[in-house]
A and B are shown apart, each in its own frame.
Chain A
Amino acid sequence: MTRPAYPFTALVSQEDMQLGLLMAAVDPQIGGVLILGQRGTGKSTAVRALAAVLPDISVVSGCSYACDPQASAGLCVGGCQVKSKTKRPVPVVDLPLGASEESIVGGLSLEQLMVSGRRVFEPGLLARANRGFLYVDEINLLEDHLVDLLIDVAASGENRVERDGLSMVHPAAFVLVGSGNPEEGELRPQLLDRFGLAVEVTTPQVLSERIEVVRRREAYDRDPVAFVASYEQAQQALTRKITQARRQLDKVKVPDGLLEKAAGLCLSLNTDGLRGELALMRASRAMAALNGARQVTIEHLKAVAPMVLRHRLRRDVLDETTGNERVARALATLMP
């Protein structure tokens, strides 16, 4: 009696979060998405709803790493010699807080070891998340060494296992999505800027929007199947939009003037390193692709700048202004 997930398109006034997730779906290179906000604002709902709008991926049948049949062979340790392929939904894997390192990176297969005495690698959560999303709810409560591990793998796109006498590499290219409530614990600053995007979710300030959220949820709870069916068209349209955007992504042009503006913005905000500029460009391009534009414009840049930069600013503890405000101020002075 599993219920169909709440439709992504039925979310109310969470545009930032939706946009962030969609951009990461269009261009996984953007890096992970960090969702910060209070409880009950639809963070988990949005992530769990994501799988339904993403176009299916084609994989080598039976491969535990969901290898792409088109990809050059050799990476997969599962031995994907079989070239028959199947379609399957994009994996959105939940990483529970209580997960041990072994269950994340994988380890010796207990089953094989005990039954046949053979030493066989058993893939972990990272393998399951390959070519999809890995979702960590309450990432601010996850143990530090596990967060380090996730970020490492997410950045390199492959999981290197050196344990229990096993030594191997398998593909693990996923978009890391973390969510958390900053009031319940802070995330280490050196981890913050490893996320490509950081979006802030708040409860809608307008009462009627709040009521709309509750109404839709009530309708969904009453009859999930009918509710999901009523959003079928919107869902399919969104899926088409994502497919289109992915196809267009490489063709979207970035004018030189815009690159300069992006660099100027990062400079004026004093962000550390070059990650900011890179992410800003990638995000603007994904934004343009989602909008069906051929070329990145200043509007795209402005739209994505807060979520790309707000978590990369040097923090002054005693400064009351939020990251969003500072980015907005810098934007206003640089690009009136």
Chain B
Amino acid sequence: MTAQALTPESLALCAFLAQPARYGGILIRSARPGPVRQAFEALLRRMVNVSDTASGLRLARLPASTPSETLRPSLDVVQTLAAREPIYDPGWIDCHRDCIVLVSMAERIEPALAQELAQALDQRRLLLVLLEESVGDEPGVPPILFDRMPLVVVQDRLLPPEQSTDEWVRQLEQVIQAWPVSAHGRLELSSDQWRRLAAIASVLDIPSLRPLLATGRLAIDLTRQASPRARKVSDERVDQALVAGLVPHARRWPEQVPDQGNDDQQPSAEASESDDPGHSHDQPQETDQSQAPVQGALEQSSTHHQNQQDHHDQQAVEAALVDLQRGLLGAYGMGPRRPMRSGQARREGGRAGQRSWHPSRGRRLRVTAWKRGQPARQLAWVKVLERALPLQDMRRRVSPSEDRLLLMPSDLRIWRRQHRRPLTTIFLVDASGSMAATRLAEAKGAVQTLLAECYVRRDQVALMSFGGQGVRVNLPPTRSLVAAKRALTALPGGGASPVAAGLQAVIRLVDRLAQQGEDATIVVLSDGRANVCLDGEVNRTLAGQQAQRAARALASQALRAIWIDASPRPEQAAQVLAHAMAADYYPLPFASASQIHGLVSSVMKSSTGRESVS
């Protein structure tokens, strides 16, 4: 059978395409434009055409930047003015009932639009195919949608590298055509299988129950597909179903991760372990270690429910943990890498998405002429009447049969609104040398105090550090105190001082925020003595030059910046860099959390001009 060659991700895709309504949606991550995505979109179009007669499905594209109010019914101003009777626009969702809605660049969906789509999905008014194009630690689709995506696959894993796209598509089509689409009532997961799934979800720290539901469903479908006469769901299919159903939602991975790139997004209990993770995972000693936090959590809960059920639970969780550590899922070419990114990057809630130009947000400011395409709800009717009423006599002479108010599009006026751009305060902390531990602790305290204050103004805080292990994002931009506390529990320090790399990481973050229409303030806590170059070489002179270059690049962004020098004596290197960065320089020997916080908030208050007008 050729079908056996399909990856679990491709099988999940087939399951969706064969019975879209059974799942409701699918998210394809890293869906960069290319032959695979093209082939998939073409396939989707063909599938919809084929099923056109049977299920009445259509395909519709929704731009991710669509304002959410267009999804709801509203009065069509232009038509109403022309027809002289109320004409309603039923709203995008109602026009596209039971469509498969394809959204590319899904990571750009605003929270308001995400909420509308999520609700439509809950009510089964549409089916959703999201193509997420973000890479690395960029924010993905809004959490409200991510949680509701029953199937999540990564585009790169859809087909094995040796397979050609054409061949893959042919195979998909065959499988989909042969997919058993009869009643699914007969097949059920056994209690043990459910318990195992639930245990895996608990080990992976997935609080939501939606992924669990989807995984069970997929396991049933995969079993039927493999052997239509099967009486029970096979364990092998359950494992396959995990790949697209449960694992993408993981927020914690029980194994030690040998990959540097994950450090910044892995704040949980494992971070406290310091030994080298590169070795085999079969060593019993290591298993014991990473098992400890999970067991601890279980023991806590079992004090409340001392019964046999709990004992079963514990066994199931332990078994799941061992399974995951033995690389059970690795057999399907799936490591902890992807899930960590997906779970954690999403944690901070994506973006506030508050754009300064948004026409329906913020406070009313003044009135300007209406342009075609602007939302009718925002019209300033009093101003419209003020313009139109004096012209009535004249207009009536032109069309004497009319006895109603004669409005012309040129009369229309619309509200402009004022909207504050969200501000992110980025802390860059020098985690090198002997002072690292205290400096980080104080920065951590300052971050939390600032956050406690920030949510009054809806601002965000981020914390990055540089040291022996390079640059880490200890806390991605967040406005959540809960998330900050979780992320900041363990902050290791010590080692070399790659100042330039740290500043460059800040520049990247600032760029990303600017793309989202957000401003940033930078707080650097360092003595400025760079000793490691960008390529990792130890060379003081070159490292210093690189740091200066990075500082100047940051200065060109014209941001508010503060350089806090916490060394016992003011350090010249720090002053030079602060100057290059156009930052205010504050020598603060033995700076404390409250001192830092006081300084930062006073500087933030003094910066003005953050109100923007749309």
> In angstroms, how far is the closest chain A Cβ from the Cβ of B337?
22
Check if A207 sits within 8 Å of B209, measured CB to CB: no
Q: A145-177, CB under 8 A of B: which get 1 and which 0?
A: 100000000000000000011000000000000
Check if B119 sits within 8 Å of A3, measured CB to CB: no
User: Which B residues are in CB contact (< 8 Å) with A3?
Assistant: 123-124
**Cβ of B309 under 8 Å from chain A:** yes
Check if A114 sits within 8 Å of B77, measured CB to CB: yes
> In angstroms, how far is the closest chain A Cβ from the Cβ of B570?
29
Check if A111 sits within 8 Å of B86, measured CB to CB: yes
> In angstroms, how far is the closest chain A Cβ from the Cβ of B495?
27
Check if B480 sits within 8 Å of A206, measured CB to CB: no
Check if A39 sits within 8 Å of B84, measured CB to CB: no
**Cβ of A232 under 8 Å from chain B:** no
- Chain B interface, number of residues (Cβ within 8 angstroms): 87
Chain B residue nearest to A190 in the complex (CB)? B456
**Cβ of A70 under 8 Å from chain B:** no
Check if A188 sits within 8 Å of B455, measured CB to CB: yes
Q: Contacts A114-B80, A317-B449; is A145 near B208 (CB within 8 Å)?
A: no
Chain B residue nearest to A3 in the complex (CB)? B124
Q: A278-310, CB under 8 A of B: which get 1 and which 0?
A: 000000000000000000000000000000000
Residue in A40, A97, A102, A107 whose CB lies within 8 Å of B210: A40
Q: How many A-B residue pairs have CB under 8 A?
A: 193
> In angstroms, how far is the closest chain A Cβ from the Cβ of B56?
11
**Cβ of A246 under 8 Å from chain B:** no
**Cβ of B144 under 8 Å from chain A:** yes
Query: Which residues 93-111 of A have a CB within 8 angstroms of B?
Result: 94, 96-98, 100, 102-103, 107-108, 110-111
Q: Report the separation of the CA atoms of residues A218 and B185 in the bound assembly, to the nearest whole angstrom.
A: 10
**Cβ of B99 under 8 Å from chain A:** no
Query: Which residues 332-386 of B have a CB within 8 angstroms of A?
Result: 347-350, 352, 354, 360-363, 376-382, 385
> In angstroms, how far is the closest chain A Cβ from the Cβ of B123?
7
Interface centre among B85, B199, B361, by most A CB within 10 Å? B361
Chain A positions within 8 Å of B, measured between CB atoms, are 1-3, 38-42, 44, 94, 96-98, 100, 102-103, 107-108, 110-111, 113-117, 119, 137-138, 141, 143-145, 164-165, 181-189, 202-203, 205-208, 210-211, 213-215, 217-218, 222, 315, 317-318, 320
User: Which B residues are in CB contact (< 8 Å) with A186?
Assistant: 451, 455, 479-482
A and B contact pairs by CB, cutoff 8 A, 9 listed: A39-B207, A98-B113, A103-B377, A114-B405, A143-B354, A208-B309, A211-B195, A214-B209, A317-B481
Query: Which residues 113-149 of B have a CB within 8 angstroms of A?
Result: 113, 115-116, 119, 122-124, 143-144, 147
> In angstroms, how far is the closest chain A Cβ from the Cβ of B28?
20
User: Which B residues are in CB contact (< 8 Å) with A202?
Assistant: 207
User: Which B residues are in CB contact (< 8 Å) with A320?
Assistant: 485
Residue in B143, B352, B486 whose CB lies within 8 Å of A181: B143
> In angstroms, how far is the closest chain B Cβ from the Cβ of A189?
8
Check if B448 sits within 8 Å of A318, measured CB to CB: yes
**Cβ of B67 under 8 Å from chain A:** yes
User: Which B residues are in CB contact (< 8 Å) with A210?
Assistant: 198, 201-202, 209, 212
Q: Contacts A39-B208, A97-B115, A115-B85; is A185 near B381 (CB within 8 Å)?
A: no
Check if A98 sits within 8 Å of B349, measured CB to CB: no
Chain B residue nearest to A112 in the complex (CB)? B86
User: Which A residues are in CB contact (< 8 Å) with B86?
Assistant: 111, 114-115
> In angstroms, how far is the closest chain B Cβ from the Cβ of A78?
20
